[in-house]
Chains A and B, each alone.
With several copies, the nearest count.
Chain A
C-alpha cells in the first residue's frame, strides 16, 4: 500500500452516515474509493453538484458534468445541481459536514497553508479558504514530509489558508489532532514508531500513553 492509498483509507474511517462531504482535488479524491460499507455519504463538488459518482464508462462522458478539477464524473440517482453561490452557501453556511483537503504546511496551532508558495507556486485558493472557514470538520490529508522537510511545523512559513485550526491531520505516518494544548499524536501508521514520527515532525507533539496503530478502511467496490 503506497502512502497516498494509506492516507485515503485512514481518512475514509472519518466518514459518517448521512453526511455531506467535499473532497479536494488530488489525494483527497481517493477517499471516495474507501467509503465503509453500510455508510451513505453524499459528496459535494464545489462546481455545483451533490451526489456525484465514479467517472463514466468510456464514451459516456457528459461535457456538462465534471468535478472541480475538470474531470468527468457521473451523477448518482438523487443528485442535485446548483450554481456557485448555492454551492458556497452549503460550504460557508455550515451545511457541509466534512472536507478533506491537501496541505503544504500545518502549524502547531493547527493552521493550514495550502494555496501558495510565494515566488514559486501561485495556484490560487480556489474554494479552500471557504472550505476551511465553513466546513464542520476540516481534515488535512497530506504526506508527512516533502523533500525531507517536515510539513508539520512550529509556525507557518507559507501564507495561511484561514485562521481557523483544522480538525485532523492524516499522513502516511500518523494521525494528529490539533487541540488547544497542542498537536496530539493519536495514531501511528503500521510499522512506524513514535520516535520516527517525532523525527519527521517540525512541531512538538503531545503524546498521551500508548499510541495505537492506525486502522484503515478496506476498498469498497460499490463506492465512487
Chain B
C-alpha cells in the first residue's frame, strides 16, 4: 500500500528538464490534474513523449501553452496551432513518429527489448538516420526503445496496491507508458480498496506504479 499524494506534490517530483511520458489521445486519458500542477509550478524544459498535443488549453496542449516544453516526441500536432507555431519559431523541437511505431518504441522501452523491426516508414523521411534491416527479402526499419524519467498515467480506478483500470478510449498509451519510465505517477479518478478490482480487470499491475495521486476532491 502507498500513500496518495496531491497533484502539486506529484508535480514537485518532476524537475525542470526531465523527460516525461504523458498518456492520452487528444487529451482523452491525460492526467489533467498533474498537468495543471506542472503548469502552476512553472516547470521548464520538459521533453514530452506522447501521442499528440491535443488542442490549445487541452491535455498536453496546456504544457505547450505555458512554455513548459522544450522538446516533444509525438505522432501528430495537426490539431494544435500553438504547437505548430512554436515549432516553426524554433521554441520547441518536435520529433514526429508514426503512431504505431511510437506505441512499439514505448513498449520496447518497458519490455527490455533492444528494438523492433517495422515496415512503417520505409521509403519515407522517417527512415532518416535509421538502420534498415532485411528479413526474408523485405526491408524494415530498426526502431529503438523509448524510455523517460517519468510516466504520468491517467487511470479510471486505482486500488490501494495501485492496480489500475482504464475506461474505453481513455486507455490508449497509458498502460504502455507505465512500463517505460524510471518513476511512474498515476492519477486515478477513483481510489478503491484492495480486492474491489478483480484480477482480470487490472490493466496495469500496481507494482509498476511509484506514486499515486489522491482522488479528485
Contacts and interface: CB of A to CB of B under 8 A. Distances in A.
Interface of A: 20, 42, 45-51, 62-70, 75, 77-85, 87-95, 122-130, 133-134, 159-163
Given A123-B84, A124-B75, A124-B77, 4 more contacts: A45-B169, A66-B169, A69-B79, A90-B207
Nearest to B123: A163
Contact of B119 (A82, A92, A123, A125): A92
Contact of B156 (A64, A78, A93, A128): A64
Contacts, number: 199
Category for how many chain B residues contact A: 35 or more
B194 interface: yes
Contact of B98 (A20, A83, A93, A125): A125
Contacts of B195: 77-78
B123 A70 contact: no
Interface string B178-217: 0100000000000000110001101101111000000000
B150 interface: no
Contacts of B194: 77-78
A48 B206 CA distance: 14
18 contacts: A63-B28, A67-B169, A79-B199, A80-B163, A80-B206, A83-B175, A85-B111, A88-B103, A90-B207, A91-B112, A123-B79, A123-B84, A124-B74, A126-B76, A130-B98, A133-B119, A134-B100, A134-B120
Interface-central residue, A87, A90, A129, by most chain B CB under 10 Å: A129
Contacts of B110: 89, 93
B124 A159 contact: yes
A160 B100 CA distance: 17
A94 B112 contact: yes
A42 to B, nearest CB: 6
